[in-house]
Chains A and B, each alone.
Chain A
């Protein structure tokens, strides 16, 4: 069975600073990997996804993530954080079997300080 670990419960960065959110996964085969963002009162929005190809994936809102098979990681990065990026971020892994169900990590709450 697949699993996801987001080791940081919350992170605080200054506006304009760079950001990296960590994600480690466990899955026997090549996983589908996702990053979602959840803002208060809103549904989950997909930032980016990876299955194959270039291990550096570009997403929306200036986010990118890098898949590192050797480290079982899929960390999310942004070079310059904006105050509007404050939200909850979830890393998720999808399995190709079982109806392609998706398992989510515990989430990382991002705080942005002025």
Chain B
């Protein structure tokens, strides 16, 4: 299957700082990538759909100014958590859509905000 990477795999930051998470499709091009958030022992909640060359589409209740998404190339999407606070601590997972009905998931990034 296709490979999607995320970097970093875990990050600890101080409250008020910004953190950037990268999502890369290593062996295919993805015009669409998705960002999810997963709380401990809970399901994945779709945060936004990232489209190459255009603005991301955010799900209801997700602050677009808080979670900045940039999809500058067909293999890279970034999620920046701005002015992070402890409540932003979570597991962030990206996926890249290879075909209409197939997406591949990254291993996730564990964010801890102190």
A102 touching B107 in the complex, CB below 8 Å, given contacts A44-B93, A90-B43? no
Looking at the complex, which of A65-73, A79-87, A104-112 is the stretch in contact with chain B? A104-112
Smallest Cβ distance from B112 to chain A, in angstroms?
A: 16
A98 touching B106 in the complex, CB below 8 Å, given contacts A49-B101, A105-B43? no
Smallest Cβ distance from A52 to chain B, in angstroms?
A: 10
Question: How far is it, in angstroms, between the C-alpha of A48 and the C-alpha of B102 when the chains are bound?
Answer: 11
Please state if B103 and A102 are interface contacts (CB–CB under 8 Å). yes
Question: How far is it, in angstroms, between the C-alpha of A104 and the C-alpha of B44 when the chains are bound?
Answer: 6
Smallest Cβ distance from A65 to chain B, in angstroms?
A: 15
Smallest Cβ distance from A12 to chain B, in angstroms?
A: 16
Question: How far is it, in angstroms, between the C-alpha of A43 and the C-alpha of B106 when the chains are bound?
Answer: 6
Residues of A within 8 A of B105 (CB): 36, 43-45
A43 touching B107 in the complex, CB below 8 Å, given contacts A32-B101, A105-B43? yes
B-facing mask of A36-57, CB < 8 A → 1, else 0? 1000001111100101000000
Please state if B46 and A103 are interface contacts (CB–CB under 8 Å). yes
Contacting B101 at CB < 8 Å: which of A36, A43, A94?
A94
Smallest Cβ distance from B24 to chain A, in angstroms?
A: 13
Residues of B within 8 A of A45 (CB): 105
Does B57 sit within 8 A of A, measured CB to CB? yes
Q: Which residues of B contact A (CB under 8 A)?
A: 1, 4, 32, 34, 36, 41-46, 49, 51, 57, 93, 95, 97, 100-103, 105-108
Known: A99-B51, A106-B42. 15 other contacts (CB 8 A): A43-B4, A43-B105, A43-B108, A44-B44, A44-B105, A45-B105, A46-B102, A94-B101, A96-B100, A98-B57, A99-B57, A101-B49, A102-B34, A102-B95, A107-B43
